[in-house]
Chains A and B, each alone.
Chain A
């Protein structure tokens, strides 16, 4: 069965610094992988997804994630963060029946 491990529960970082949020998955079959973002008191929103093709996927707001099959990872990166990126980020893997299994989440705190 697929599961997801997010290796950091909280990541503090200064504004304009780079950041990496780590995600590892376990699966014996082809995977579809996702990153969702949750701003305070809101629902989750899709940030980016890997379904097939290029292993590097990008979002419209500067985040990117790389699917690494050999390391079973899908880490999220941004070269320069803003205060507005402060949120909780969830990695997820798709199971059969179009269901998503989520990691425990990583809180990104951007400090000025």
Chain B
């Protein structure tokens, strides 16, 4: 009963390096989201997708790109990592009900 799976769970990058976070869901959900969580700031929406082949910007999209080539996968890319992108990243998926199902998070440190 996997639900939402994020890989990797931990990553350390140097400033300027690139990486991709992978999110996979097995619930056939149309909607998928990437949030970042920082202390005292709650969760902020980076990008989201309302279906296969679609993506849209959230509150804090700068420095990130996303792709949704398959319905079950939602990729978050950092082209040139910066220390300000040190955070915990959460992927979520949902039906059109507002109930989001979250992965366990990916902790990224940018040195």
Task: Give residues in A with beta carbon < 8 Å to B.
Answer: 4, 6, 9, 32, 34, 36, 41-46, 49, 51, 90, 94, 97-105
Contact = CB atoms under 8 A, between A and B. Distances in A.
B66 to A, nearest CB: 14
B98 A49 contact: yes
Interface in B66-105: 90, 92, 94, 96-100, 102-105
A100 B5 CA distance: 20
Given A43-B4, A90-B42, A104-B40, A98 B96 contact: yes
Given A42-B104, A97-B56, A99-B33, A49 B41 contact: no
A49 B98 CA distance: 9
Interface of B: 4, 31, 33, 35, 40-45, 48, 50, 56, 58, 90, 92, 94, 96-100, 102-105
Contacts of B94: 98
Contacts of B43: 44, 90, 102
Contact of B58 (A6, A49, A99): A99
Contacts of B92: 43-44
Given A97-B48, A97-B50, A97-B56, A103 B102 contact: no
A31 B57 CA distance: 22
Contacts of A101: 45
Given A90-B42, A100-B98, A43 B104 contact: yes
Contacts of A43: 4, 90, 92, 102-105
26 contacts: A36-B100, A41-B104, A41-B105, A42-B105, A43-B103, A43-B104, A43-B105, A44-B43, A44-B90, A44-B100, A46-B99, A46-B100, A49-B98, A49-B99, A97-B56, A98-B31, A98-B50, A98-B94, A98-B98, A99-B33, A99-B45, A99-B48, A99-B58, A102-B35, A104-B40, A104-B41
